[in-house]
Amino acid sequence: MLEELADSAAAEADGLSNSFLKQVERRKSLHFNIKESAHSALRIACFKNSITMQDFFNEISQLVEADSPLLMTIMKDVSDKKRNNQIEKLSKTDEESLYTIIEREMSEKES
């Protein structure tokens, strides 16, 4: 009788662990590009708080899922900026870097 109960409990535990594994397997992977300076700042901030960037973005996504007023406000602001063309594709630094690269390429071709 005790063995049957133990086997039943073990089977139930296996079912729970399988359920947990299925939840883990349902995760999605994100890949996106951000400016190097933003990446560095984020990495440093995460390091100072003893978390990974994955921990940070996971928390952000959970706040979005929970309709956090703060995150919804940020998302609306980004949407408004994009709609109003306030988000520039090339920042001043990017523009200067491109000019530097073009000048270097031109001078190398002339040599």
Measured between alpha carbons, how far is 111 from 108 in angstroms, rounded to an integer? 5
pLDDT of the residue at 22:
61
DSSP of 8-47, one letter per residue? HHHHHHHHHHHHHHHHHHT---------HHHHHHHHHHHH
So what's the pLDDT on residue 38?
94
Give yes or no for residue 90 having a pLDDT over 70.
no
Q: What is the pLDDT of residue 44?
A: 96
Tens digits of residue pLDDT in 9-43: 555 656 556 666 666 667 888 888 999 999 999 99
**Distance (Å) of CA 17 to CA 3, 28, 49, 52, 102:** 21, 20, 31, 25, 57
pLDDT of res. 28: 85
**What letter would DSSP give residue 66?**
T
pLDDT of residue 71: 93
- Cβ 53 vs Cβ 43: under 8 Å: yes
